[in-house]
Amino acid sequence: MNRIRNTAAMCMLTVAGLGFLGCGSAQAGPGVVFKGEKGPGKGKHIVFVVGDDEYRSEELMPMYAKIMAVHHGFKCTVLFALDKATGEINPSTQDNIPGLEALDDADLMVIFTRFRELPDEQTKHIVDYTNSGKPIIGLRTATHAFNYTRNKKSPYAKYSFQSSDPKGGWGRQVLGETWINHYGAHQRESTRGVIADAMKGNPLVNGCEDIWGPSDVYGLTTLEGDCKPVIMGHVLKGMNPKDQPNPDKKPVPVAWTKTYTGEEGKTARVFTTTMGHAGDFQSEGFRRLMANACYWALKMEDKIPDKANVELIGEYKPNNIGMGGFKKGLKPADYALEKAERR
């Protein structure tokens, strides 16, 4: 058995299977599971639903899951868009995220999908979870998670991002907004995240004083329901954290909280961010915001430390964003290994 060096968590393979010291890792059908051994999250299960073909969510979400498992003790299941023939991760496959039955016993769903049109039997698990009253975290393109162009008679076609009934589909109704536009110039203007005045002192933003990412700020109309801004996105005039704000573009929310009451009358906590470029996860402040969001969503605010541990687990060098730019030939189990071993 090959030994794997992990500078952050000293993780290695064990004879019993893929296992981290302090965090077990194993194949879970079509996905991968990281089993946290100790921490406030012990006993809680987070399911990460991944299917975005531009922002390298297939790389950042396993890293996010590892952080929450290794440093915080959560059990984390990561499910990917998979090629039906090969079982390889392929974000361009818009109609297949197998393993979504894991949501049936999840405590929290973290979703980063874009324009998916899944088979009804797969979508049903997402919709049932949405109506369960259990919490949801959505990243970037989750505002336009679904787009039904082929099976328009599906009972779930109404969740398309351009739906008129309900307005804005799943994204707007559940997360607070659908896809509008690029407010900041795409790949020319980056984002400086600043804590909203009303959130200062809230444990949700503990340790989040320095947020920057290469993502551009998304445009908004009016946020749906009881949304409360958490982080305001300042559009910078370039792709460097030291660039100045664009004076012609006022700050708009790039993260907010919300509640959603589903078809069964159960109300869930929702956290949404329109950040989520793979490069955003290089920002310690942004990683900490996302860690805090898990605690907040699960009503564990009292467990949020002043400065949550969000040290990267092993190597994190995601491919550049862009359609078709994903790493080819990988299967879910490969994310249980150090990326350096895969190259």
The 10s digit of each residue's pLDDT in 290-336 is 999 999 999 999 999 999 999 999 889 999 999 999 999 999 999 98
pLDDT of residue 28: 45
- Nearest Cα to Cα of residue 202 among 271, 133, 135, 260: 271
pLDDT of residue 336: 83
Q: How far apart are CA 38 and CA 45, in angstroms?
A: 13
Helix (H, G, I), strand (E, B) or coil at 291: helix
Strands (E), the chain: 19-20, 23-28, 31-36, 45-51, 75-79, 108-113, 136-139, 191-195, 211-213, 228-235, 252-261, 267-273
pLDDT lower than 70: segments of the chain? 1-29, 337-343
Instruction: Look up the CATH number of domain 23-182+256-322.
Output: 3.40.50
pTM of the complete model: 0.91
Do the beta carbons of residue 247 and residue 235 sit within 8 Å?
Answer: no
Q: Report which residue type is found at 97.
A: I
Helix (H, G, I), strand (E, B) or coil at 180: coil
Proportion of the chain above pLDDT 90, given as a percent: 87
Do the beta carbons of residue 130 and residue 159 sit within 8 Å?
Answer: no
Does residue 245 have a cis peptide bond before it, meaning omega lies within 30 degrees of 0?
no
pLDDT of residue 24: 53
- Residue 311 tokens, joined: 């040290």
Task: Provide long-range contacts, Cβ within 8 A and 24+ apart, for 156-163.
Answer: 156/120, 156/123, 156/124, 156/127, 159/123, 159/127, 161/115
Please give the backbone phi and psi of residue 56, each rounded to the nearest 5 degrees, phi first. 65, 40
Task: Read off the pLDDT of residues 72-123 as tens digits, 9 standing for 90 and up.
Answer: 999 999 999 999 999 999 999 999 999 999 999 999 999 999 999 999 999 9
Do the beta carbons of residue 18 and residue 336 sit within 8 Å?
Answer: yes
Per this entry, what is the length of the chain? 343
Q: How far apart are CA 268 and CA 288, in angstroms?
A: 22
